[in-house]
Amino acid sequence: MKKALLILTISMTAWSAAFAQDVYYTKSATLKLNGELDGNALQLDTRQLGVMLDYETTEMIIRFPLNSLKSGVDSLDNLLKNSALEVVFDGTLSLEYINTENHPPLKFTAEGWLTVGPSKTLITGEGELHHIDDVGQIACMMGMTMHLNLKDLNLRNPVPGLKDDFEAVITQAVLQRDKN
């Protein structure tokens, strides 16, 4: 029984490794949320953005802890710091595949589900993929923009004077494909 379980485990590991060759993970992506508080520009950002990107299917999962957002506004930062929620975007890009070879800028749309706690909302955005020459492991830079509204996301506005509309800007380095 133990031998069969060991063989099954090894087979499953090899099988998933074979099919995960074009899936890349990064924790060095950035997110900026641009909004307005009391008539003044507000920018929240996090560097704890994790991104999983499948180069073949263009499926993407982006996640970060809500408490990693920083705004520089004490009252807002204190609210965020005490949050245990995770924000997850699970979607796809309109590209056929992620091209890491030399290419002109590629425009795309992104569509997927944004989950914040119990709220799950279908959202869309736009982006571009720019090739970079001779930068080692990095092949491209990807940028995406999504317009968000707290009411549309079924989220309570946590601070008086905070506008419901935000622009989310994500920047991510796209690594070269493994050359096997």
Q: Enter the tokens of residue 175.
A: 């690594």
Classify residue 103: in a domain, yes or no.
Answer: yes
> Could you identify the residue written with the tokens 């204190």?
78
Sequence letter at residue 109: T
CATH classification of the domain holding 88: 2.40.128.110
Classify residue 123: in a domain, yes or no.
Answer: yes
Query: Per-residue pLDDT for 20 more than 70?
Result: no
Classify residue 13: in a domain, yes or no.
Answer: no
The 3-class secondary structure across 22-33, one letter per residue, is CEEEEEEEEEEE
The stretches of 62-113 forming alpha helices (DSSP H) are 74-81
pLDDT tens-digit map of 89-119? 999 999 999 988 889 999 999 999 999 989 9
pLDDT at 41: 97
pTM for the full model? 0.82
Classify residue 163: in a domain, yes or no.
Answer: yes
The neighbouring-strand residues paired with 34 are: 43, 167
